[in-house]
């Protein structure tokens, strides 16, 4: 077997029989640690292909620390994780979710070195493929402020990666507060236009009588009060990106002007006769269904097709699994830096409540609730009441092993399809299945391909 560098994060390495068998079998390529800070440092040097985590004896706090410290860590993102678990732990909902969301595979104890070596070999192969197909991940995360490493966010990263290569309009869809503006900024910052300006305009916030002059600018004397020429936002975004937030709110007459600009790449300032060429990439965002708006006659169909050339869909926060905790920790740490407050972390109940809450306001709501909690909390630990959330009453475990396997299967399909740019032939090759099988699985999990 080709040498595979494994980082083994063991809860109690001194009491772990697997450690000695593994180091014996794999020699110096295995590094063992129980310290997540050290693991993070080691991941930074990028030499590890596979991370192995032992969940026994099961300790929920340890798992939470791993999620916060390791999975958030971008440099680890081409590395693949394998879990060592007992069948008893597989009955625990936290463990199952963690595995389904973050792991390439799991190895059920008792420890079987030959079986594990095969699993590690596959995981390492996948790490190599990810690095080739997706080399920008760590740099990408560093440059953008989009936090998250759930499969749903990985799909976003991949979609963004795809749209970077083309200087075409992008439409970002998603519920309010899902991070559409942040995604637009990420596209701009990673595109060849990153040295140019990023100008954001909220179409819903501008009074309708001002939108025209705000976007296109005006000449001196164009209307009462126009004492001097003013450049519009489109011109100000010249050489860069114009972000039209809430594009669905644009009045119909302005939609016609915008369409004209998108077709001709030129504008007229209000009251002006000179045709001015402007080089701008348009990224628009909407939380309303624009197709529905087109059907109802509120949005021009021709403009819709012009804006919707490339598409990025932001998932709601409730579908991002452990990203909720990552984001909560991230906001907590950044607010802590800004304010002298007592609260240092979330208590267990708060984490559970956040995990099961529906988050109708998505990331923005989470950010606001964490900020509020820091003000309300008199303790070192933030409780659900500080977040203004109802207590979560634990549900009995309903997740069967089959459900976990199905979820894991679905996640890996998403990941590999994303890596393969939704090419079924390439994805089938990576997964080592025929494309007929892959089509069957895509149908089974109701996965929508982008091409
Ligand atoms: N993945 C993320 N990581 C870190 N912060 C995020 C993330 N997503 C959103 N945010 C933060 O949440 C808030 C809302 O994000 P943003 O304004 O980009 O959402 P939006 O989808 O454009 O909302 P709206 O539809 O209401 O305009 C911002 O403060 C943003 O910084």
The string of pLDDT tens digits covering residues 310-322 is 999 999 999 888 7
pLDDT score recorded for residue 286: 93
The answer, yes or no, to whether any atom of ligand 1 lies below 6 A from the CB of 214, is: no
Q: Return the higher-pLDDT residue of 257 and 64.
A: 257
- 17: which 2 tokens? 């029989």
Residue 140: is its pLDDT beyond 60?
Answer: no
Mutate to test the pocket of ligand 1, among 170, 171, 179, 244 (most ligand atoms within 8 A of CB): 179
Say what percent of the chain tops pLDDT 90. 28
Over the Cα atoms of the chain, what is R_g? 25
Proportion of the chain above pLDDT 70, given as a percent: 87
Cβ of 185 below 6 Å from ligand 1: no
Average pLDDT over residues 381-386: 90
Contacts of 254 (CB under 8 A, 6+ apart): 211, 212, 215
3-state SS, 286-335, equals ECCCHHHHHHCCCCCHHHHHHHCCEEEECCCHHHCCCHHHHHHHHHHHHH
Residue 74: per-residue pLDDT: 47
- 160 neighbors 172 (Cβ within 8 angstroms): no
Model pLDDT for residues 14-27, shown as the tens digit of each residue? 666 677 777 777 77
User: Pocket of ligand 1, candidates 140, 181, 366: which has the most ligand atoms within 8 Å of its Cβ, to mutate?
Assistant: 181
What is the Å distance from ligand 1's center to 26 Cα? 45
The CATH number, out of the four listed (2.40.110.20, 1.10.8.60, 1.20.1270.10, 2.30.130.40), of the domain defined by the range 317-387: 1.10.8.60
CATH number of 6-137: 3.40.50.2300
Report whether pLDDT(188) > 60: yes
Is 363 touching ligand 1 by the criterion CB < 6 Å?
A: yes
Pick one of 3.40.50.2300, 3.30.70.3150, 3.40.50.300, 3.30.1330.30 as the CATH number of 148-313: 3.40.50.300
Q: Is 202 a pocket residue for ligand 1 (Cβ < 6 Å)?
A: no
Is residue 237 packed enough to be buried (19+ CB in 10 Å), middle (13-18) or exposed (0-12)? buried
Considering only CA atoms, which residue is closest to atom 16 of ligand 1?
179
Q: State if residue 179 touches ligand 1 by the CB under 6 angstroms criterion.
A: yes
pLDDT in tens, 262-303: 999 999 998 888 999 999 999 999 988 899 999 999 999 999
Class of the CATH domain delimited by 401-444: mainly alpha
Q: What is the DSSP string of 404-429?
A: HHHHHHHHHHHHHHHHTTT-HHHHHH
pTM above 0.95, yes or no: no
Helix (H) or strand (E) holding 338: helix 323-338
Instruction: Indicate which atom in ligand 1 lies nearest the CA of residue 182.
Output: 18
Is the distance from the beta carbon of residue 147 to the nearest atom of ligand 1 less than 6 Å? yes
What is the distance in A from the centroid of ligand 1 to the CA of 176?
8
Residue with the smallest CA separation from ligand 1 atom 2 is 146
**Ligand 1, atom 18: closest residue by C-alpha:** 179
Instruction: Report residue 361: phi and psi, to 5°.
Output: -95, 10
Q: What angle do CA 64, 149, 444 make, to 5 degrees?
A: 105
Question: Reduced to 3 states, what is the DSSP secondary structure of residue 276?
Answer: strand
Cβ of residue 367 lying under 6 Å from some atom of ligand 1: yes
CA of 181 to the centre of ligand 1 (A): 6
pLDDT band at 75 (very low <50, low <70, confident <90, very high): very low
At 65 the pLDDT is 64
- DSSP H helices, 241-300, are 252-264, 290-295
- Residue 251 has phi, psi (to 5 degrees) of -65, 150
- Dump the DSSP string for 127-149: HHHHHHH-TTHHHHHHHS-----
Q: Give tens-digit pLDDT for 340-366.
A: 777 778 888 898 889 888 999 999 999
Mutate to test the pocket of ligand 1, among 364, 365, 369, 371 (most ligand atoms within 8 A of CB): 364
Parts of the chain belonging to CATH 3.40.50.2300: 6-137
Q: What does the alpha-carbon distance between residue 204 and residue 219 come to, in Å, rounded to a whole number?
A: 25
The predicted-structure confidence for 407-421, as pLDDT tens digits, reads as follows 778 878 877 787 777
CATH 1.10.10 boundaries in the chain: 401-444
pLDDT given at position 394 = 47
- Kindly indicate the confidence band of residue 135, based on its pLDDT and cuts at 50, 70 and 90: low
Reading the block at residue 139, the tokens are 């740099």
Using one digit for the tens of pLDDT, what is the confidence trace for 214-243? Answer: 999 998 887 888 888 889 999 999 999 999
Confidence at residue 68, expressed as pLDDT on a 0 to 100 scale: 60
Closest CA to 322 of 34, 13, 81, 87: 81
Ligand 1 pocket, 144 CB below 6 A?
A: no
What would the pLDDT profile of 212-221 be if each residue is shown by its tens digit? 889 999 988 8
Q: Distance (Å, rounded) from C-alpha 184 to C-alpha 200?
A: 9
Q: What is the pLDDT of residue 187?
A: 93
pLDDT at 243: 96
pLDDT (0 to 100) of residue 32:
86
181: Cβ below 6 Å to ligand 1? yes
What is the pLDDT, as a whole number, of residue 71? 63
Q: Read off the pLDDT of each residue in 28-57 and give the average, rounded to a whole number.
A: 80
Pick from 252, 241, 319, 326: nearest CA to 285 = 241
């Amino acid at each position: 077997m080709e040498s595979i560098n494994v980082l083994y994060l063991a809860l109690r390495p001194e009491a772990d029989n697997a450690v000695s068998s593994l180091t014996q079998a794999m020699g110096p390529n295995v590094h063992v640690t129980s310290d997540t800070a050290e693991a993070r440092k080691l991941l930074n040097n990028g030499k590890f292909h596979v991370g192995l985590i032992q969940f026994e004896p099961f300790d929920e706090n340890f798992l939470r620390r791993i999620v916060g410290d390791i999975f958030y860590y971008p440099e680890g993102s081409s590395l693949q994780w394998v879990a060592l678990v007992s069948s008893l732990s597989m009955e625990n909902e936290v463990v199952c979710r963690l595995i389904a969301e973050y792991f390439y595979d799991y190895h059920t104890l008792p420890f079987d070195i030959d079986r594990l070596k095969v699993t590690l070999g596959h995981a390492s192969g996948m790490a190599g493929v990810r690095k080739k197909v997706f080399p920008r991940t760590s740099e990408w995360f560093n440059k953008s402020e989009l936090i998250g490493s759930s499969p749903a966010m990985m799909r976003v990263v991949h979609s963004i990666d795809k749209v970077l290569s083309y200087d075409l309009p992008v439409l970002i869809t998603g519920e309010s507060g899902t991070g559409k503006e942040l995604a637009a900024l990420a596209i701009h910052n990673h595109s060849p236009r990153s040295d140019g300006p990023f100008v954001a305009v909220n179409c819903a916030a501008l009074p309708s009588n001002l939108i025209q002059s705000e976007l296109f600018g005006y000449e001196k004397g164009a209307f009462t009060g126009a004492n001097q020429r003013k450049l519009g936002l489109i011109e100000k975004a010249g050489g860069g990106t114009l972000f039209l937030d809430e594009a669905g709110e644009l009045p119909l007459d302005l939609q016609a002007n915008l369409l004209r600009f998108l077709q001709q790449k030129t504008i007229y300032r209000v009251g002006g006769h000179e045709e001015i060429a402007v080089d701008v990439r348009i990224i628009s965002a909407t939380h309303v269904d624009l197709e529905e708006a087109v059907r109802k006659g509120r949005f021009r169909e021709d403009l819709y097709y012009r804006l919707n050339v490339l598409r990025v869909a932001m998932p709601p926060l409730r579908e991002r699994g452990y990203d909720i905790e990552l984001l909560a920790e991230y906001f907590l740490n950044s607010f802590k830096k800004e304010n002298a407050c007592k609260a240092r972390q979330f208590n267990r109940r708060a984490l559970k409540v956040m995990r099961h809450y529906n988050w109708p306001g998505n990331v923005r709501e989470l950010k606001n609730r964490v900020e509020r909690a820091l003000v309300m909390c008199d303790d070192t630990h933030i409780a659900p009441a500080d977040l203004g959330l109802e207590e979560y009453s634990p549900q009995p475990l309903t997740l069967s092993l089959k459900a976990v396997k199905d979820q894991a299967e679905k996640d890996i399909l998403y990941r590999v399809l994303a890596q393969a740019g939704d090419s079924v032939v390439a994805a089938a090759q990576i997964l080592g299945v025929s494309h007929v099988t892959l089509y069957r699985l895509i149908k089974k999990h109701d996965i929508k391909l982008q091409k």
